[in-house]
């Protein structure tokens, strides 16, 4: 069967789905499989999907959408799973803005029930040139290889959070912008979470020479079972760009189901991390983050950022009682960048590559 898609979700990106595609009614109920669905119903919130270019576009009743089967475990979003069996005609749910589709098991009260999606079939891929018989597409096609070991790496700056929407992506962007302006070659990555392109696109917008996330490794949403080899594969790939530093976001929270704790417990990944930023929503979250890092990972964060540092009340508590620098990424972005530059490179502010280059030019 031939179809013409109205929208192609960003989660399908590895599969390179064409606007005009062929389907089979047979569906493999497996995470990462690319499927065609018909949007059923309308909503006034959470009614958009991100396309493969990172644009948010409105979903309308009746739209033909290419999405990906997957799971989600979001505290402030939807939770859902891939059913044991999926067949044409089933009504599933659109679980996230990246086009992840499954059966919703828990909805957030602020978002209401998710949009419904009627399954039409699997999108076919034609990997062999000239071959007329297609195979069901998956985002494991064209994926960055996973890795058991971390190759020699540029230093890593980790940005984690106490939960989603705690300011991690904003902090990553300000760090990348500072280091780029200081003359460093920076790469960015998002190592955990559920598929959405916008966070790594923003890293490139702010100066990263390249950014990757777990979807590039063929993963819809990370788990403790896959987070570490996926992270090592992505970091190895980014080191091919010969960066001076990598800024990596750990999506979701330091307590959750997406595998953040597995990454923080891995000796190779922690060994490459020269600085840790944790974003917290309130002083209790900041205390919990500091306590978790101290007791479980044998260190304190270098910086606590996020809404807990929006004014002096939170900042004073964090610095006086937790012994961690409290820096707000929105109002103290230069201090945040300088602090992490010194933590990673051990250089004074006037000893960056850009400053050294300028000094050499002046001398000549």
* Tens-digit pLDDT profile for residues 9-28: 999 999 999 999 999 999 99
Mapped onto helix, strand or coil, the DSSP state of residue 69 is strand
Q: Residue 319 carries which DSSP code?
A: I
pLDDT tens profile 104-146: 999 988 899 999 999 999 999 997 766 677 899 999 999 999 9
Q: How far apart are CA 245 and CA 239, in angstroms?
A: 9
pTM for this one? 0.93
Predicted pLDDT at 359: 46
What superfamily does domain 156-363 belong to in CATH? P-loop containing nucleotide triphosphate hydrolases (3.40.50.300)
Residues facing 123 on adjacent strands: 23
Cβ proximity of 34 and 119 under 8 Å: no
pLDDT tens profile 264-275: 999 999 999 999
Nearest CA to 161 out of 198, 199, 187 is that of: 199
Predicted pLDDT at 129: 67
Q: Which two tokens stand for residue 171?
A: 């902090």
**Mean pLDDT computed over every residue of the chain:** 94
Residues 6+ apart with CB under 8 A from 223: 257, 258, 259
The structural domains of the chain, with segments of one domain joined by +, span 2-136, 156-363
């Amino acid at each position: 069967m031939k179809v013409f898609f109205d929208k192609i979700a960003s989660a399908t990106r590895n599969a390179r789905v064409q606007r005009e595609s062929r389907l089979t009614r047979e569906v493999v109920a497996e995470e990462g499989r690319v499927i065609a669905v018909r949007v059923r119903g309308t909503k006034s919130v959470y009614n958009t999907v991100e396309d493969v270019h990172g644009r948010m576009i409105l979903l309308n009743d009746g739209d033909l959408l290419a999405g990906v089967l997957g799971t989600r475990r979001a505290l402030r979003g939807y939770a859902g799973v891939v059913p044991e069996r999926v067949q044409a005609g089933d009504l599933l749910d659109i679980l996230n803005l990246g086009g992840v589709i499954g059966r919703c098991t828990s909805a957030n009260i602020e978002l209401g029930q998710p949009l419904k999606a009627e399954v039409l079939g699997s999108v076919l891929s034609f990997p062999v040139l000239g071959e007329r018989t297609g195979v069901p597409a998956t985002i494991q096609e064209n994926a960055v290889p996973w890795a058991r070991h971390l190759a020699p790496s540029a230093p890593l700056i980790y940005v984690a959070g106490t939960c989603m929407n705690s300011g991690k992506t904003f902090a990553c962007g300000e760090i990348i912008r500072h280091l780029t302006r200081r003359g460093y070659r920076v790469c960015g990555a998002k190592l955990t979470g559920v598929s959405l392109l916008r966070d790594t696109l923003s890293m490139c917008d702010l100066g990263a020479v390249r950014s990757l996330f777990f979807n590039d490794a063929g993963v819809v949403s990370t788990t403790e079972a896959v987070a570490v080899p996926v992270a090592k594969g992505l970091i190895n790939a980014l080191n091919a760009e010969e960066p001076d530093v990598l800024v990596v976001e750990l999506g979701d929270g330091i307590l959750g189901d997406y595998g953040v704790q597995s990454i923080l417990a891995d000796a190779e990944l922690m060994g490459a991390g020269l600085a840790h930023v944790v974003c917290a929503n309130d002083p209790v979250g900041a205390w919990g983050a500091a306590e978790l890092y101290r007791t479980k990972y044998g260190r304190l964060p270098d910086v606590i950022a996020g809404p807990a540092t929006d004014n002096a009340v939170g900042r004073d508590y964090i610095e006086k009682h937790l012994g961690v620098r409290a820096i707000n990424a929105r109002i103290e972005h230069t201090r945040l960048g300088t602090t992490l530059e010194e933590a990673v490179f051990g250089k004074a502010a006037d000893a960056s590559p850009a400053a050294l280059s300028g000094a050499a030019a002046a001398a000549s």
